């Protein structure tokens, strides 16, 4: 299976990217191919709502989104990776997802698998409620097949994350994937 990991953290060595690395390691060990896309540092402009794409065509903006679109449509699974910023995904990952507008139907037809990996400083029981609701809405709208989530509560620093059980959970999720 081809997996594209969409990293949305502006901190290249942060906790959410640590989970992404462990997820990818597990998936590769299970025999899958993994492509990691650093969406936070890619040249991706926000959707301007011009509808030039007609909801299933080329975008009027010329940036990295065209190659990311091809990577996504070539994959069998997307893993969304983000730190929790004010109880939602990072603006960088949200900017990428907003650009799905130009190829929603193509994603919907593929019935891709998906996963969500995130970390937060907060450790309250409701910490991830809004992010989980958004993710499950994307799963439903895009006809994705959820393979699981790793939601790292109390992971405010890479050191805190490294000493938690969440990297192992991310690895195990990647390792458990089947075609």
Residue 65 sits in a domain whose CATH number is 3.40.50.360
Task: Please give the residue range of the domain that contains residue 24.
Answer: 2-176
Structure tokens of 86?
């004010």
- What's the pLDDT tens digit per position in 146-156? 999 999 999 99
**Could you list the pLDDT tens digit for every one of the 179 residues in the chain?**
999 999 999 999 999 999 999 999 999 999 999 999 999 999 999 999 998 988 888 889 999 999 999 999 999 999 999 999 999 999 999 999 999 999 999 999 999 999 999 999 999 999 999 999 999 999 999 999 999 999 999 999 999 999 999 999 999 999 999 98
Within a 10 A sphere around the Cβ of 150, how many other Cβ atoms?
A: 26
In the chain, the number of structural domains is: 1
Structure tokens of 49?
């709502």
H/E/C letters for each residue in 69-98?
HHHHHHCCEEEEEEECECCECCHHHHHHHH
pTM for this one?
A: 0.96
| Distances 22 to 34, 97, 122, 148 between C-alpha atoms, Å | 12, 23, 22, 14
């Amino acid at each position: 299976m081809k997996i594209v990991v969409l990293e949305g953290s502006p901190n290249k060595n942060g906790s959410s990217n640590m989970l992404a690395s462990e997820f990818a390691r597990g998936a590769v060990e299970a025999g899958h191919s993994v492509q990691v896309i650093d969406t936070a540092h890619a040249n991706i402009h926000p959707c301007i709502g011009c509808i030039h794409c007609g909801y299933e065509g080329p975008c009027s903006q010329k940036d990295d989104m065209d190659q990311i679109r091809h990577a996504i449509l070539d994959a069998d699974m997307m893993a969304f990776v983000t730190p929790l910023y004010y109880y939602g995904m990072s603006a960088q990952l949200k900017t990428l997802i907003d650009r799905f507008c130009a190829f929603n139907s193509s994603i919907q037809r593929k019935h891709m698998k998906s996963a969500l990996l995130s970390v937060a400083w907060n450790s309250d029981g409701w910490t991830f409620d809004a992010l989980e609701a958004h993710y499950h809405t994307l799963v439903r709208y895009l006809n994705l097949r959820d393979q699981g989530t790793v939601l790292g509560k109390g992971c405010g620093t890479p050191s805190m994350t490294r000493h938690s059980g969440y990297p192992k959970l991310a690895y195990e999720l990647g390792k458990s994937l089947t075609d």
